[in-house]
Amino acid sequence: MIDQTNIKAILIDLISAAFDTSATAVEWTISELVRNARVMEKLQEEVQSVVGMERMVEEKDLGELTYLNMVVKESFRLRPIGPLLVPRECREDITIEGYWIPKKSRIIVNTWAIGHDQNVWSNNVEEFYPEDSWRGT
């Protein structure tokens, strides 16, 4: 049975996990496009050639919008919405890369740092450069 507690949990999921993340991701992506005219123009050209100006973008178009895919991934790298993800609890004692992690430790995964690691990305990790993001997929 769905009671008040379930409804509260669903609403929190919807508002914080679904609406807010999506809106913030769109805001960051648009702001990067505004700051990067080269990327904006290349993306506009793709959308115009794949979809045209007579209709809206539809889900079936996504497979062909490869540059859009790169732009979204680059946005997630440079401006991650949940930079520290959701905390985890370690289920067993374990050693990873020489680090001893006792059972029940709280683990925070820093995806912001992963997205800014110069060993993985280019030297210019602060630049919004979708072509580089593609390399990381």
Distance CA 73, CA 51 (A): 21
- One residue of 11, 30, 34, 85 binding ligand HEM per CB under 6 A: 85
Distance CA 45, CA 41 (A): 6
Specify the stretch interacting with ligand HEM by CB under 6 A; choose among 40-48, 59-67, 82-90, 126-134.
82-90
The answer to whether the CB of 133 falls within 8 A of the CB of 109 is: no
User: Exposed (0-12), middle (13-18) or buried (19+): which is 48, by Cβ within 10 Å?
Assistant: exposed
Could you say whether residue 124 binds ligand HEM (CB under 6 A)?
no
> Smallest Cα–Cα separation from 126: which of 40, 65, 35?
35
Specify the stretch interacting with ligand HEM by CB under 6 A; choose among 13-21, 31-39, 58-66, 123-131.
13-21
Could you say whether residue 45 binds ligand HEM (CB under 6 A)?
no
Closest approach, Cβ 9 to ligand HEM, in A, equals: 10
Question: What is the binding site for ligand HEM (CB under 6 A)?
Answer: 13, 17-18, 21-22, 25, 81-82, 85-86
